[in-house]
Structure 1
Amino acid sequence: METVRRGTFYNRSLERALQILNAFDTESQSLGLGQLSDILKLSRPTIFRLCSTLQEYGFLIQDQESKRYSLGMRLLELGSIVLDSFSLRAVASPHLSRLQMNLGKTIFLGILERDELLYIDKREAPESRITFTAHIGARRRPYWGMLGPVLMAYLPDEEIERLLQKSPLILATKKSITENDKFIEWLRQVRDQGFVIDVETTLEGITGVAAPVRSFSGKVVAAVGAAFISTSVDSKGLKKVIKETVAAALNISRELGYSDRIERPIPL
């Protein structure tokens, strides 16, 4: 039931669910139904219904023997996303600015979050002849643009297939890849070479170059890319964009703790 409280829309059931989560701390890592009922001053049937819903979505787990609840892995997953995003942006920020200054192109930083490409940082090119609609916080299909293929290329095959089933490839331009087999083969090429050159598959007349950013464990956690008008860069200029973008992604990765003993040379 929604009521108005302090000038905002207020949901009592949601509040109670959040109170259940907040009842857990380092001193109370597992709680029984009766304990939660006493803490929240709510009936056991109400607590049970709320806990069952939270358990269904992974926010709580229940020990089958003791019947006590504890916080679920979904909270850890969400917390790691927040932590990674904040630390990632802080680490990447100077490198993105430097990359933008070196190339004079629009620079993006993105991650995969909730099965979508999420833009978490951006540097506009000065005096750019085109304005990109993608902004910080914007979401796109997981394969979108230059960042999406990089982020998808390093996923397990079954995860790639799941994402393509959930978000089928669409025809955005005459150069868009709309067949799953061809797209997956392209992802393999991206993974092998360590970067992507996206030539007008999403926007007419726009090319993008992107490279993966890795965490200390070696997992690809983000992608950094440069976008520009296709006709503004010749073959020599494209080589520079690739070299600078891959170098920026590698430098960000190193600051995140990544160390590649068999390091692929930066393309010349």
Structure 2
Amino acid sequence: MGTTRSGASFYNRSLERALQILSAFNTERQSLGLGQLSDILKLSRPTIFRLCSTLQEYGFLIQDQESKRYSLGVKLLELGSIVLNSFSLRAVASPHLSRLQMNLGKTIFLGIHEHDELLYIDKREAPESRITFTAHIGARRRPYWGMLGSVLMAYLPDQEIERLLEKNPLIPITKKSITRKDKFIERLHQVREEGFVVDVEGTLEGITGVGAPIRGFSGKVIAAVGAAFISTSVDSRELKKIIREIVATALAISKELGYSEMEQPVPL
């Protein structure tokens, strides 16, 4: 077993070489042949060919059929856009999340869908909360999990919703969890129509979550923001305030991201 430069174990030589191939490309070397890559990396042509074939299979490289030269593939563009969106989204949303947490005194979450899962990308913990939520930044859950998952799924095409539910069947998490697919899809349609979701103890016993969609410049829903709190800690009047604040915050973040379509009315 090899070691990394820092001395850690589980070092993978093949992975390193594949990453070196990708790193060989730059603005001056946008396409490279086998011989060039072999010279740059000091590796044999057969080794370069095997690695490039694998990278090509997964979309990280493309090969021109006439010149046989390789260039970076669209998979890298796809991954780069995810990183860019995540960083720019967090940067824009950050002050809004802090303000929302101060206004409501509740724990605030920001999440996206990535690789068919809900991914938490930011969080503001309520300092005086009687509970601590285990969903930390970077945590992943089923795509329909909680208020954020419901919001994100509500704005997907019906065919995509069916695919995700086929891959991740609904399971009973609490006594109030929706486990029938038709009922769940009906709820998603309601979320899409109202512009927010109130998840009353459907994910965690005794916990209510409120979430709303964040849109990018194209109008597509790219994230969701929400608050979670002990169900018995709010009355109907305060719940309406929470909904109003979250929807307004989602819209404010969306507008900073370039969303300029007709604004949805904020619930009263």
Shorter-normalised TM-score: what interval?
A: over 0.9
Aligned to 2:87: 86
Q: TM-score, normalised by structure 1?
A: 0.95
Alignment of 1:48 onto 2:49 = yes
Alignment of 1:134 onto 2:135 = yes
In 1: Cα distance, 2:79 partner to 2:255 partner: 24
Deviation, 1:4, is: 5.0
Aligned to 2:152: 151
In 2: Cα distance, 1:154 partner to 1:57 partner: 28
Aligned to 2:264: 264
In 2: Cα distance, 1:218 partner to 1:47 partner: 43
In 1: Cα distance, 2:110 partner to 2:206 partner: 21
Deviation, 1:3, is: 3.8
Percent identity at matched positions?
84
Aligned to 1:175: 176
Cα deviations by residue, 1:170-191 (Å, 9 ceiling, x for unpaired): 1101111112222122111111
Aligned to 2:96: 95
Letter in 2 for 1:26: T
Q: Which runs of 5+ in 2 are unaligned?
A: none
Letter in 1 for 2:194: Q
Aligned to 1:203: 204
Deviation, 1:86, is: 1.2
Aligned to 2:223: 222
Letter in 1 for 2:264: R
Q: TM-score, normalised by structure 2?
A: 0.95
Deviation, 1:228, is: 0.9
My pick for the range that moved more, 87-96 or 63-72, is 63-72
In 1: Cα distance, 2:4 partner to 2:43 partner: 22
My pick for the range that moved more, 237-246 or 212-221, is 212-221
Alignment of 1:7 onto 2:7 = yes
Pairwise CA RMSD: 1.3
Q: Count how many residue pairs are aligned between Structure 1 and Structure 2.
A: 267
Runs of 4+ in 1 over 4 A off after TM superposition: none
Aligned to 1:20: 21
In 1: Cα distance, 2:107 partner to 2:4 partner: 43
Letter in 2 for 1:205: G
Letter in 1 for 2:266: I
Matches within 5 A, 1:99-118: 99-118=100-119
